[in-house]
Amino acid sequence: MLDTAVLVGAVPERFGWKGGPVDAATYFKMARGEPEAGCDCGQAPAVALEMTKWFDTNYHYLVPELHTGTVFRLASNKPFEEFAEAKALGFVTKPVLIGPVTFLLLSKSHEPGGFDPLSLLDSLVELYLEVLLRLAREGAEWVQIDEPILATDLTFGQRAALAGAYERLAATVPQLKLMVATYFGELRDNLATFADLPVAGLHVDAVRGAAELDRLLATFPTNKALSLAVVDGRNVWRNDFAASRKQIRHALERVGAQRLIVAPSCSLLHVPATLEHETKLDAELKSWLAFADEKLVEIAQLARLDESEFEAANARAQASRRGSARIHDAAVRRRLAAIVPSDHERVTAFPDRKKKKQARLNLPLLPTTTIGSFPQTNEVRVARARFRKGEIDVAAYEAFLESEIRKCVEFQERAGLDMLVHGEFERTDMVEYFGEQLAGFAFTENGWVQSYGSRCVKPPIIYGDVWPPAPMTVRWSSYARSLTTRPMKAMLTGPITILQWSFVRDDQPRSLTARQIALALRDEVLDLEAAGLGAIQIDEPALREGLPLRRSDWREYLEWAVNAFRLCAAGVREDTQIHTHMCYCEFNDIIDSVAALDADVISIEASRSQMELLDAFVHFRYPADIGPGVWDIHSPRVPSAEEMETLLRKALTVLLADQVWVNPDCGLKTRGWTEVAPALENLVTATRRVRATLKAQPLMPA
């Protein structure tokens, strides 16, 4: 999306772009913001574009900003340069572009009074025509245009606009074959529009949209190629050749071999690159998996009309997985069956709980805290690597971690934060760390996938029933608590986030796996409480990400997702404070479900949007406390105390002072201490300034 915004010249004025090709400096400012020095355009330092999740994946995109007067103009040569580079190496590739309708509908505007992004469609199509004509001149034969927006709810007008755009594109560039691709879900009421597009080929997700393949094939045009996605591009399980062969044979009857293309469901950036270098996975488990390289082999094998010895190996792997004793655990199943409704309920309502927590924690008005992690410095990473290589023993490594925790606690006390955290120096990743300590999880050595920019994650693989062999975090949270008299907050990753940010088993409903994770976390929550921790944060940044693309499917998902959170949190005493955290997602339309989590405090991303996410609270009286982030930690900028004070005061126009916490947008592990120290000091300064201007208020205003 950033590449597309740059390609079409959709560069907001604050980045100081003067026209012509967008240079690398402007590109990076759009992605990351810029330092306090600001641009050379006489304006304040430019805040980066907002960042949010790409549909229901853990991949982030930067949100383009548009307005009524946006003028599109070609401002990047990237797609042409990449095509030419491949061609010089002997490969005529298929360039892939984000579709104009998806681009516009996923953009945003700060224009008051509302703005229809499709009002810009005609001018954007003009620019796309320029791009396509140039690709045709340079020798492209096919161009794929991705319109995953077709897997979402569209209005009649939006469908009509999409159809009109492709009529124009196809008619103007007849020498180029256009492939329109949709993925991530079923087409449903968009199917007819999709099938009727006047293009040379259509790509359909037959993994997530398998149930509607018959309906598509029944009316599929005889003059189009069909790219049939039978290999899952979003999960790591080996393809079931028997099932995929049935789909392919069915499509062959309608389309014919000359017009049928076998494909993955979506881009393979959502899975690791290769299994080749995974030396520590046992042979049985490894035989169940396929990463990107292996999926390409599967596609090539499935595209062969004659079955080969590959089929037999695939059948053996499928049988091995279905019959493996390592997948199911009877004790876990018995515990799940014993869950009763009261296991999801806190004993008392929030107002009564808040009084008891305040008596225990003694926090000031506008309490300050962080989201959990502190900088993972090179020293931390080196010590972890030495421990894993056996160069230092457990005692030496734990002594190092205690030293880092001690320094972190001392810094927080000096900075004046009100609720402290231990810093999470023992953790590599907020999901991997927990998965490593839970039964039913497996881990790769090199299974990295891109999350955003240069940031990658290494998702665990959930292959079997989940349960906790031992406490996971009590050791470090208890140690940190012993170092201070201030409240110490323990940190956990929530069940939905662990689910969403893992490669999840596909042999049972995701809701069942979520409940298993929730039960494991419930044990950890109670262990932390027993160890004396008065505040426990259960992060759920992926709750909104897991929302189905179709609104009609939301209720079912939200019911089991909210219940999973409540199952892991509801067993605590009334004076134990439960926090949760969500970042980089638009959750205004599910605010009632967020409230239904029944957490005592929720911290949210709000600074990049200049507190725009708080619009939901204008009409919805949120029943608990809220920490709207006042510092965008995904940018290298150190915001001033004045900037944070402005954001905090803006939040107080929507929220009651008694319910507001002050915190960064997210964890601090990716930032350095040279940024973290002054930024947190500025955060405390800003908070104290605002506190000083507020009159004393009752604990819960009427």
Residue 313 resides in a domain: yes
User: What average pLDDT does range 336-353 have in this prediction?
Assistant: 93
Convert the pLDDT of each residue in 422-475 to its tens digit: 999 999 888 999 999 999 999 999 999 999 888 899 999 999 999 999 999 999
Asked if 365 and 289 sit in the same domain, the reply is no
Q: How far apart are CA 468 and CA 478, in angstroms?
A: 19
| Lowest model confidence (mean pLDDT) among 154-168, 312-326, 470-484 | 312-326
CA dihedral (339, 340, 345, 348) in degrees, to 10, reads: -130
Answer yes or no: is 289 within a domain.
yes
Has residue 67 been placed in a domain?
no
Note whether 313 and 368 are same-domain residues: no
Whether residue 32 lies inside any domain: the answer is: no
> Which pLDDT value is given to residue 700?
37
pLDDT at 701 over 60: no
Residues 386 and 278 in one domain: no
- Structure pTM? 0.89
For 192-204, what is each residue's pLDDT tens digit? 999 999 999 999 9
Residue 309 pLDDT grade (very low, low, confident, very high; cuts 50, 70, 90): confident
Domain count, the chain: 2
The enclosing H or E element of 467 equals: strand 461-467
Do 372 and 445 have their domain in common? Answer: yes
Instruction: Render pLDDT for 75-109 as a digit per residue (tens, 0 to 9).
Output: 999 999 999 999 999 999 999 999 999 999 999 99
CB 117 within 8 A of CB 66: yes
**Residues 300, 222 share a domain:** yes
Q: Which residue spans within 43-194 are E strands per DSSP? A: 51-53, 60-62, 96-98, 142-146, 177-181
Residue 301 in domain? yes
End-to-end, the C-alpha distance of the chain in Å comes to: 45
pLDDT band at 43 (very low <50, low <70, confident <90, very high): low
Tokens matching residue 145: 């245009």
Q: Looking at the domain assignment, is residue 181 inside a domain?
A: yes
Q: Which amino acid is at 333?
A: R
For the segment 276-303, the average pLDDT, to the nearest whole number, is 95
When pLDDT is cut at 50, 70 and 90, the band that residue 145 belongs to is very high
Please check whether residues 445 and 314 belong to one and the same domain: no
pLDDT of residue 452: 87
State the virtual CA torsion across 354, 358, 361, 365 in degrees, nearest 10: 110
Its domain, for residue 253, covers: 77-323
From 269, 290, 323, the end of a domain falls on: 323
CATH number for the domain spanning 100: value is 3.20.20.210
Residues identified as active-site: 634
Residues 146 and 287 in one domain: yes
Contact 233/265 with Cβ under 8 angstroms? Answer: yes
| The predicted structure's pLDDT at residue 429 | 85
Instruction: Name the one residue in this structure whose structure tokens are 């662990």.
Output: 498
Amino acid 611 reads M
Based on the domain organization, do 359 and 453 belong to the same domain?
yes
Fill in the DSSP letter of residue 430. Answer: T
Same domain, 561 and 610: yes
Nearest to 672 by CA among 379, 403, 440: 379
Which three-class secondary structure string do you get for 187-215? CHHHHHHHHCCCCCEEEEECCCCHHHHHH
User: Do 599 and 520 share a structural domain?
Assistant: yes
> What is the side-by-side strand order in the sheet with 625-628?
489-493, 535-539, 577-582, 601-604, 625-628
Same-domain pairing of 359 and 303: no
Q: What are the distances in angstroms from CA 596 to CA 245, 546, 600?
A: 44, 16, 11
- Is residue 208 in a domain? yes
Whether 299 maps to a domain, the answer reads yes
Q: What would the mean pLDDT of 338-347 be, rounded to a whole number?
A: 94
